[in-house]
Amino acid sequence: MLKGVSKLNIVRIGSYITYSSLKQIGAGILESFRGVIDEVELSHHDSPVVESIDALLLTMILDQEYGGHTLGITDADLKTEDDDEFYNSILGGKNPKNDVAVVSTNKLTPLNLNTDTEYELFIDRTLKVSLHEVGHNFGLTDHASYQPAGDGLLCPMSRGEFNKFGYRGYVKVIVDGRGATFCDECIEFLVNIYGHSGSSRQILKDALVG
């Protein structure tokens, strides 16, 4: 784990999220990781249309193709090898052997997606799950409790209790309850490791094709 700022590759797998929304997510990540992530590059990864994909396999593919700190965002369901069917589908995950995290939008979509408000909720949820997984990329760990941040909302690293709510309830209570500001504990870690400065150059490079 290196000190200083880093570039983050954000890779769209599938086409459910628009290019402008991908830029919005990238800008949100830059803002939340000010002084840690200095640059975001947006890309599109061509892949067959699938309903689900193995999360670990996807991180390995992205690591081989892009390298470095990478966040993959897919509309496919992310699967794991957990024997319990309840846990073998995840909102997002981080490969501990590289710097690649992945997020699935599959369970983040509101019941209806017909209005601008509902679409903004969808993008907001995707950003919040992305912040959580990118946080793992930079060494932050889960808060098993409901950890508040300075803005009064939950820290993006709050995990909460999953069994209690089920997927849809979990998204409404935990994901929607998270903010974009990290708690003091997370900020202290980022300052100590990366010299988190509270400022960002807000660079978005585009390498999107298709």
pLDDT tens for each residue of 62-75: 999 999 999 999 99
CA 51-20-93 angle, to 5 degrees, is: 45
210 pLDDT band, cuts 50/70/90, is very low
Region 101-105 average pLDDT: 96
Which DSSP symbol is given to 91? Answer: S
The amino acid that residue 47 corresponds to is S
> Is residue 165 over pLDDT 90?
no
Q: Write down all domains in the chain, each with its CATH number in brackets.
A: 6-207 (3.40.390.10)
pTM recorded for the entire structure: 0.90
Q: Is 191 exposed, middle or buried (0-12, 13-18, 19+ CB in 10 A)?
A: middle
Region 35-51 average pLDDT: 88
Reported as type and span, the H/E element at residue 77 is strand 77-79
pLDDT over 90, % of the chain: 65
> Is residue 199 over pLDDT 50?
yes
CB 9 within 8 A of CB 204: no
> Is residue 3 over pLDDT 60?
no
> Is residue 45 over pLDDT 50?
yes
